[in-house]
Amino acid sequence: MLRHAPRACLAGVLLGALACSEPAPVDLSGPVADWPAYGGDPGGQRWSPLDQIHRGNVTDLEIAWIHHHGDVSDGSDGSTRTSFNATPVEAEGTLYFCTGFNRVIAVDAESGAERWAFDPEQQLTRLQGPYPRVCRGVAWWRDPDARPGQACAARVFTGTLDSELIALDAASGAPCADFGAAGRVALREGIEAETWEYYPTSPPVTVGDVVVVGALVADNLRVDAPGGVVRGFDARTGALRWAWDPVPPGFEGRLRGERTAEGYTRGTPNVWSILSADPERGLVFVPTGNASPDYFSAVRGGLDHYASSTVALDARTGEVAWSFQTVHHDVWDYDVASQPTLFELAGAEGPVPAVAQATKMGHLFLLHRETGEPLFPVEERPVPQDPVAGERLSPTQPFPTHPPPLHPARLDADDAFGFTPWDRGRCADAIASRRSEGVFTPASLEGSIQYPGSAGGANWGGVSIDPERQVLYVNQTRFPMMVQLIPRAEYDALPDKSAVYPNELYPMAGSPYALRREPLLSPLGAPCNPPPWGTLTAVDLVKGEVLWEVPLGTSRDQAPFPIWWLQGEVGSPNLGGSIVTAGGLVFIGATTDKYLRAFDAETGELLWSHRLPFTANATPLTYRRGADGRQFVVVAAGGHGWSEPGDALVAFALP
């Protein structure tokens, strides 16, 4: 484990002195804005009205400061490696973020200097499974009823890998004594799970005086996995207000199992990704995962009703207001990974309250925020059938038409890619020898090509929306996977069952099959599909048309020199999201190379990029504190499963 002392590096003055020419004076006449929620606002638009940094001066951006928090593990000591994927929130001049060890840190928004740090002193020091240690963010909440100077008048809420919900004083970092037991609420109460099977990785969300939290449930381990309950707690006291057990309406007991004493049903769809809120309507929007196990549904006992869906819950009661299912009877791990994004869609009779839901399939569903009804036609189309013995499939799946799907839907042998004719031929053979009938091809005994892969399409990075131009931006991965079901007797006879990411082997205990899942790569390490392997796409929300699409990323830091240099912008697999600003810029990291980039929001032209100390598999944020201040763009650079773990929070500003 590598944990070093935190430090902040002020680099703006030095870099300015070394500049080749004098930059233009900073324009101080524009707006100011904070970033008080994970997605900028409770609805997750990832939009900022700031325009001090714009198309004309973005090339002048320089590092203003770097904060190294020190919580890094490369796994060499037996602990699980870390990823620093957090998007800080910025409120009242302070940035708040969490690390892979669930420390919560507050730093000065102008200088990056540490103000306080809270260590939950985790007991869970080692995890199992393919996931790195990650905390994507925290929630900030100011109590409207608090007295001036009262402790915990503003609170920071965080979820931990020890399955606790913790409330901290935003001013000091001290636990809020009136919340739960000395600032902590145990989330594993009523959850029957091994310590590493169940824990939150995404930030809570606040609606009124309720704080809502879901949790990751480890995939494909067993049929009777921990339940995917979503709970709302009193933001002041930590008392449980409600619990939503995602079972079908009228459910009277699972065909094969039981509920826990608290009534939480095992194996239900979990909610591991980012939540959204509509405070005006009192709604919280949850993106759901799969009922367990992910790749064989016949043993689920009818728990698919809310799986792979966008669900709107009443924030006061936890009751379902509406739900929309993006995949019927999901057997592909196509759970809804992206934050439901709330916006106002321009219409002939005025703005319509809407939700944009991106998916791993490259489908983008536009729904009415109050009813969940599609705002544009969604077609039920036939999909591949003939599953393995005992399985059952939905005969159709929903396909959006406005916009149409944004990811290629099929990979055939003729599409195979390779650096040379030899490895291209090996890819063609690998595709031809497996079942490959396009999106929604079910897993099979001989192996099936899953394209889009289980990582997307879009993933937890989600989308950003410019509400003024009515344009949505979404980054996607284009990377095929091979999935294969292994009969139970064959799996039991395997001498080594320890395969982990990216070549995964899962027991799916309690079902007739185990699962093998791995990336489809050429012998020389290239994806077997043609580039781009990552894209950034702009969509006109009113017309439903793609305005532009560009490759996102290069193969640098993955392929050796000079291959990456000769390839250029071929795109790369990506995790993390974008933000868009009134300055006409889309900022995004996300890629497997170590860059933060700025694109022209109107044309997709790459205007600026900056090399980072680690990959930036996180969503940036931007803010400007006062009328005499600079606009900052900040991103966490801390790696992911495919890259070196790190701990750098990097802030950029104009000189």
Reference 243, options 215, 274, 202, 278; nearest CA is: 215
469: CB partners within 8 A, 6+ apart: 601
Please give the Cα distance from 365 to 404 (Å, whole number).
9
Q: Which of 545, 482, 487 is nearest to 511 (CA)?
A: 487
User: For 25-31, which contacts have Cβ atoms below 8 Å and span 24 or more sequence positions?
Assistant: 26/52, 26/630, 26/654, 26/655, 27/52, 28/52, 28/627, 28/628, 28/629, 30/624, 31/582, 31/624
Rounded to 10 degrees, what is the CA torsion of 336, 337, 339, 342? -30
Strand pairing of 534-540 and 481-487? unpaired
- Given the structure tokens 């890998």, which residue do they identify? 161
Rounded Cα distance, 20 and 13, in Å:
14
CA distance 655 to 643: 31
Question: What residue spans of 207-265 are helical by DSSP H?
Answer: none
**Cβ within 8 Å of residue 15, ≥6 positions away:** 62, 63, 655
Contact 237, 178 (CB under 8 A): yes
DSSP H or E segment with residue 493: helix 488-493
Amino acid at position 479, single letter: F
Contact 15, 9 (CB under 8 A): no
C-alpha gyration radius of the chain: 24
CA-CA-CA-CA torsion sign (265, 266, 268, 270): positive
Catalytic machinery residues: 333
Chain centre distance of CA 16: 35
Nearest 5°: phi and psi at 414? Answer: -65, -15
200: three-class secondary structure by DSSP: coil
As separate numbers, helices (DSSP H) first and strands (DSSP E) second, the chain gives: 4, 43
Closest CA to 648 of 597, 606, 594: 594
The 8-class DSSP code of residue 232 comes to E
| H helix runs in 225-292, sequence order | none
Q: Are 307 and 333 in contact (CB under 8 A)?
A: no
Q: Which of 55, 81, 178, 14 is nearest to 583 (CA)?
A: 55
- On whether the CB atoms of residues 341 and 233 are closer than 8 A, the answer is no
Q: Which helix (H) or strand (E) holds 566?
A: helix 563-567
* DSSP code of residue 532: P
| 360 touches 455 (CB < 8 A) | yes
The Cα–Cα gap between 402 and 408 comes to 16
